[in-house]
Every structure is written in structure tokens, then in C-alpha cells.
Amino acid sequence: MEDHVREHGSLLAAMEKRLLVAIAHRLPRRINSDHLTLLALAAMAVAGGGYVLAGWDSRARWLVIAALAANWFGDSLDGTVARVRRTERPRYGFYVDHVVDIAGSAFLFAGLAASPFMSAPIALSVLVAYLLVSAEVYLATSVHRVFRMSFAGVGPTELRILIAVGTVMLANDPRVHLGPLGHWQLFDVGGLVAIAGLLAAFAASVFRNTRDLSRLEPPRAQSSRSTGAGIRSAAA
């Protein structure tokens, strides 16, 4: 894939970019982008395992939060380091970074599905919805050369913060009362909201990109010469 434009309009994007550039300039040269990408992947595996452990020991929640922070550090910084050091590898970076995102998400939601904090059907449904959105974003990047990193002001960093806040709240009561619907697991409610949001983002993006591509590539009208040739052939 040729290089592409990154479109990042999340609430924290501007502040986060300044922070990441400052860190990248101070990072030891012996640490490169591949090291940070591996850190991001390992951190998500630890986060998933942390949810399982938290079912036995609530202190493991802090392991999850630390792992989410490590994932942010590695996942957000790997591309910034490459750009600051002018060592970009656009096709390699795009492929490896997003393979790691997909694998990391699978680790996280597998851990939640195996934990007592989220029912397996909802955890796996969130993962499926996330993968639908990811696939659409990658396809749109291929045809538009624009990689959209956020929807409605929410990007990966904001999602990590929401998950971390929910993880802290598990200490008080992992359930919420929804009136006549009774008590639900906090993460099940959050998962249903995430599914609705992801599917809405998927539908909106599919509609927008299909419309835009249809305008860029309208159906080709058959030339009069071709039409005439077809009529003569049929008459013969």
C-alpha cells in the first residue's frame, strides 16, 4: 500500500499528538517501533488475562489498567517514533500495526468472555462488531488513501480510558440496576452500548463511502458505436 493520510479527530487527539512527539524525541535510540508494537500486543494479552484473574482477586484490576496504559504507550508511540526518526515503512507499518490491533482485541475480549464480568455472547459480539468496523476502515483506506482513526470524537485512546474507568468501577459493584430490566453486569451494559455504536459507525461509513465512490466512478454509458454494433449483430 502507498502512503496514506491519517485523519484523527478524537477529543484528545491534539494533546495526545504533542505528548507522543515529546516522548518520541526522548526515547532511547535502542528502542524502535517494532519493540513498541510488540509491547502493545503483549499488553493486551496481559489485560485479557488480568480480567480472568480479577475474578479471584480484585487487585488484578490494577494489572488490567497498567496493561491498558502499556498498550497505549506501545500502540500510539510506534508510528510516532518512526515518523520522528524518519524511518517510516508505510506498507509494513500499516500491515503489522493493524494485525496487532486485531490480535490484541481478540486477547482482550477473550479474557472478558472468560471472566465473571462480561457474558461470553456479549464479549464476542463486541469483538465481531469491532472487526466489522476495522475491515471497513481498512477497505476505505485502500480506496480513499485516508485512514480514519476516530468516529464521533472517539478514538482508541478514549476507548481505553472508558474501559479503564469501567474496570475501576468493578470494585464497588460489577452490576447496574436498569429499573424494570433488573440488574445487569456493568460490562454487559457497556458492551451493548459499544455494539450499537460500532454498528452505527459501520453502517454510516458504508453508506458514505459507497455514495462517494459511486459519484467518483459513475456507471459507464455504452457508446453509440457499441450499441449499433450490437443491433447489427442481433439482426444478422
Confidence band (pLDDT; 50, 70, 90) for 235? low
At residue 228, the pLDDT reads 55
Q: Which cell numbers in the block locate residue 1?
A: 500500500
Domains of the chain: 5-219 (1.20.120.1760)
At residue 2, the pLDDT reads 47
Query: Residue 110 in contact with residue 48, Cβ under 8 Å?
Result: yes
Q: Say yes or no to pLDDT of 181 above 50.
A: yes
Question: Average of pLDDT values for 33-59?
Answer: 94
Q: Which amino acid is at 168?
A: V
Q: Say yes or no to pLDDT of 185 above 50.
A: yes
Stated pTM of the model: 0.83
At residue 60, the pLDDT reads 92
Confidence band (pLDDT; 50, 70, 90) for 229? low
What are the pLDDT digits (tens) for 57-93?
Answer: 889 999 999 999 999 999 989 989 999 999 989 889 8
Q: Say yes or no to pLDDT of 49 above 90.
A: yes
At residue 90, the pLDDT reads 87
Question: Average of pLDDT values for 17-36?
Answer: 94
CA distances in angstroms from 66 to 50, 59, 71, 130, 164, listed in the order given: 10, 12, 9, 23, 9
Confidence band (pLDDT; 50, 70, 90) for 226? low
